């Protein structure tokens, strides 16, 4: 609502069938929920997280079911908003980042069939229009605009192939699915989590990657005591970078390691596991972080992990080969000077398989399309399958639902 700084005001919007349940967990009206006979009225109360009061704020809720919407107005300091979002996530909400001032637009799903029938559009036309409405980069817009014509042509060709050679038609459908998997990063974005010991330079590195000061930078170890995120676009791919709390070797043993610190580190580990890409940041100029490497060996060797050998602007004090898992990338970088950043970006894009996203090849571009083709592949690929493909090209979503059962 205002610039995210101390004294600011922020509005957190909740939408969907579970709104009421989540709101009851994170907001406590001064008069209690039992006395709220008209929940659409503004309610003053406390925003809470596990019985701890985060802030005082104002809430309102209206509608029901899929159309239920609630808004909670709080002070707009970054930490307060982060705590509200984390509390909501803990109770089942999914955080979705949208452009400021824009209304959230839902992706095409099965409940949009009626819109297809009314407009007379094919499923591909309607889903392309919906995706174009929420595309956040020029690359995404160009890609979807091209798929609006390329995908129907490819499906028509595959249908003809099935008529002549069902086995080859099955292969072509599987190739279409495989080629389409990276598309979700282009449209929905990718989450990249930075993880590592305290004072490894994660905050400096994330500021360099996003080209702005998203994280507080300090020479004091452990400055980042919870996750901080920042969004940008790299090579036309929307990316959300998350800077997690630094891990101390003895955090579980030290008397001064409070519950908040342990909780922040634990949440960071969860985000590493859920990330599309994790960047393990290690300080190459400090002593070898043997305890960290041993404790988090699985995270370092994960298929979606990259090791960033940071502070390459200083003399190295240990050999990077000591932490290089077989077949996994290690990139020498300097968050301070920017050296090695292009190689790190390329490593991130490689894990996301973005290079395989050929703008001149037909791709499926929604989860529903992939699910539908997967359903076709689970059965016999015969003349009926070819007719279903042709139905996509010429008929409305309701007809396709009747024929394909999706």
Question: Distance between CA 151 and CA 158 in Å, rounded?
Answer: 10
Where does 186-355 sit in CATH, by number?
3.40.50.300
Give the pLDDT of residue 74: 86
Q: What is the pLDDT along the chain (406 residues), one digit of tens a residue?
A: 444 444 567 888 888 888 888 999 999 998 888 665 565 578 888 998 887 888 888 888 887 766 688 888 887 666 678 788 888 888 888 876 554 433 333 344 444 333 333 445 677 887 887 788 778 888 888 898 888 889 999 999 999 999 999 999 999 999 999 989 899 899 889 999 999 998 899 988 988 998 865 444 444 444 444 446 788 899 999 999 998 877 876 545 545 455 666 777 777 888 888 999 999 999 999 999 999 999 899 989 999 999 999 999 999 999 988 888 777 778 999 999 999 999 999 999 999 998 777 767 899 998 888 888 998 898 888 878 888 888 777 654 443 343 333 3
Give first-to-last CA distance, the chain, whole Å: 40
| Domain locations in the chain as residue ranges | 9-90, 110-182+358-404, 186-355
Give the pLDDT of residue 231: 86
User: How far is C-alpha 289 from the chain's CA centre?
Assistant: 30
Backbone angles phi, psi at 173, to 5 degrees: -65, -40
Degrees (nearest 5) of the Cα angle 356, 400, 386?
A: 65
Structure tokens at 337: 């000077």
Whole-number Cα distances in Å, 351 to 182, 185, 325, 365: 10, 11, 15, 19
Question: Distance between CA 249 and CA 244 in Å, rounded?
Answer: 15
Give the pLDDT of residue 35: 60
Backbone angles phi, psi at 246, to 5 degrees: -65, 145
Question: Distance between CA 330 and CA 343 in Å, rounded?
Answer: 10
Q: In what order do the strands lie in the sheet containing 9-15?
A: 9-15, 69-75, 52-62, 43-49, 27-29
Does 186-355 match 9-90 at the fold level?
Answer: no
The pTM for the full model equals 0.63
Q: What contacts 197, CB < 8 A, 6 or more positions away?
A: 246, 247, 248, 249, 282, 283, 289, 292
Where does 9-90 sit in CATH, by number?
3.30.1360.120
Give the pLDDT of residue 125: 81
Structure tokens at 306: 């990259």
């Amino acid at each position: 609502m205002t610039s995210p700084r101390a004294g600011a005001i922020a509005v957190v919007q909740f939408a969907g069938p579970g709104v009421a349940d989540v709101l009851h967990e994170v907001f406590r009206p001064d008069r209690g929920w039992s006395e709220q006979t008209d929940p659409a009225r503004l309610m003053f109360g406390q925003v809470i997280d596990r019985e701890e009061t985060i802030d005082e704020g104002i809430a309102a809720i209206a509608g029901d079911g899929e159309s239920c919407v609630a808004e909670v107005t709080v002070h707009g300091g970054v930490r307060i908003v982060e705590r509200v979002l984390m509390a909501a996530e803990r109770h089942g909400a999914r955080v979705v980042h949208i452009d400021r001032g824009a209304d959230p637009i839902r992706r095409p799903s099965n409940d949009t069939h009626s819109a297809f029938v009314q407009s007379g559009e094919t499923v591909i036309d309607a889903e392309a229009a919906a995706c174009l409405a929420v595309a956040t980069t020029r690359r995404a817009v160009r890609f979807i605009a091209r798929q609006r014509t390329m995908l129907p042509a490819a499906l028509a060709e595959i249908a003809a192939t099935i008529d002549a050679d069902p086995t080859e038609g099955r292969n072509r459908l599987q190739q279409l699915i495989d080629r389409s998997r990276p598309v979700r990063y282009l449209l929905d974005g990718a989450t990249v989590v930075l993880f590592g010991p305290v004072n490894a330079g994660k905050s400096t590195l994330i500021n360099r990657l996003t080209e702005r000061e998203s994280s507080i930078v300090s020479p004091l170890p452990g400055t980042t005591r919870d996750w901080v995120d920042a969004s940008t676009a790299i090579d036309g791919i929307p990316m959300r970078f998350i800077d997690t709390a630094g891990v101390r070797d003895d955090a579980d043993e030290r008397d001064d390691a409070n519950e908040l610190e342990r909780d922040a580190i634990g949440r960071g580990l969860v985000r590493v596991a859920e990330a599309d890409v994790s960047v393990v940041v290690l300080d190459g100029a400090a002593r070898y972080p043997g305890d960290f490497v041993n404790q988090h060996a699985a995270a370092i060797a994960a298929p979606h992990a990259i090791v960033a050998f940071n502070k390459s602007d200083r003399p190295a004090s240990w050999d990077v080969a000591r932490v290089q898992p077989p077949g996994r990338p290690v990139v020498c970088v300097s968050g301070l000077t920017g050296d090695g950043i292009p190689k790190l970006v390329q490593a991130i894009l490689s894990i996301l398989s973005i290079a395989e996203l050929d703008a001149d090849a037909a791709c499926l571009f929604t989860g529903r399309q992939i699910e539908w083709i997967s359903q076709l592949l689970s059965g016999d690929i015969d003349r009926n399958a070819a007719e279903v493909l042709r139905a996509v090209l010429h008929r409305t979503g309701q007809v396709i639902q009747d024929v394909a059962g999706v």
